[in-house]
Structure 1
Amino acid sequence: MLQLPKRLKAAVLHESEVIRAGLTAMLSARQDLELVPQVQRTESWQFDHSGIHVLVVSHGIALELLDSGSDSDVPRVIVVAPSFGDQAARTLIKSGARGLLMLSVNAEELHHAVHRVGSGRRHITPSVAAVMAEHVGSPGITTREVALLELLSRGMSNKEIARSLGISDGTVKTHTRSIFSKLGTNNRTQAVAVATRRGILVSSGTDIETNAWPGDERVMTEVCGWPAAPALTRGRQPLADASVFNRHIL
């Protein structure tokens, strides 16, 4: 069992000075935490994190830090963002994030999350847990379909997409129908909107791989300790109580 240090050491990394100051202030008020006051950024967000147990970071910084490798000395990461699509949330968890919090988090939950994550557990805020639960078992979007969605979002025609991807018009139509079916949409505008909301398309341009997991149910079961999908959902309806999700995943 993981032995907790007497006093957790945490740091906040965020591109916004206002958000960074607010999160730091909430954590600084706690006597059982030691805050690293300021982490200096050089060319990237890679830095000497020795001795830090938990990092509270933005979505973009999380991707950069978690992509740096599987160094066991890297602090546990909690991601704070204005919103999480189910696909973006799963990608962050797969990459190694231990906590997901909304930007509207209050001081009590932030403090609780830092301690849970510092003790080796996960903390996923209930609203994000509910979004993830809603799409358990949904068919995944392939890498090629994500590429096509990116071009759809730019308003390109089938012929333009075909030329860009080096495929035929017919193949573009086949992929488009598959995307509509998987996302439960009827047209391009709806497909792009749903893909953006779920984090399949990332408006900031960050490249998030979305076809890395063979199946949502397998991941929830094997990685997160989630029971089989039929016990979690009623058809395609989200769980009424997101705490059910947290009892299994955390």
Structure 2
Amino acid sequence: MTTRYARKTYRRTCICALTGLLFGVASLVIAQQKNIFTEEVYSRVEALFGKTGAADVAKWRQLVNSIENDDIDEKLYQVNRFFNRFDFVDDLRHWRQPDYWATPIEFIGTGAGDCEDYSIAKYFSLIELGIPKSQLRLMYVTALELNQPHMVLAYYPSPTSVPLVLDNINRRILPANQRRDLAPVYSFNGDGLWAAKSMGTGRKLRGSGPMKMWDDMIDRLNSVMLGDTQEQ
């Protein structure tokens, strides 16, 4: 896929509006995405990312609709496969920021993102497909062969099971105990932050910095949904 990020200049207010449309009031908005993606929304997407970006967002929506009644293994496979086709570009080059968490619309619309963007897009897509967020964790790890921080999405079939790893480096969905190239650091979702324990569930932490970052992001996006999209 051809990366389109270099050809676009975005107004912050418009990006905030689209970000709010996707994340909004977190789970409530996710559960109602089918009603959110109206012709008006697609027009906004096209204005920001062009016809190609809007067409790719439409393909995402078609995918979600087409697999909503499939079994969990198929949902994991199709979502992982869909997002892994986009180009990897680091935040500094892509967004001119050292760390930027893109919404799935921004990720798909620009045709590129980094490891957080792959993982976040998969996370929200699978929640929309009916997988409880208690079974999903965004997991920070160290990619040992690359010697760098990395993020993957972990799916837990049960609270005590070894999670399956959805990744953009190794595109096969494998149990965490078969990913010896990854060293877990911590994981989180909309419910909390966990210290990693051998890629398992780990110990829940309270009042920690990364969880506060997540909460702050959701709070900012909720304020966008209420109409606070002015430049700051």
Q: TM-score range by the shorter chain?
A: under 0.3
Q: Which has the higher contact order (CA 8 A, sep 6+)?
A: 2
More strand by share: 2
TM-score by length of 2: 0.27
Query: Which structure has the larger Rg over C-alpha atoms?
Result: 1
TM-score by length of 1: 0.25
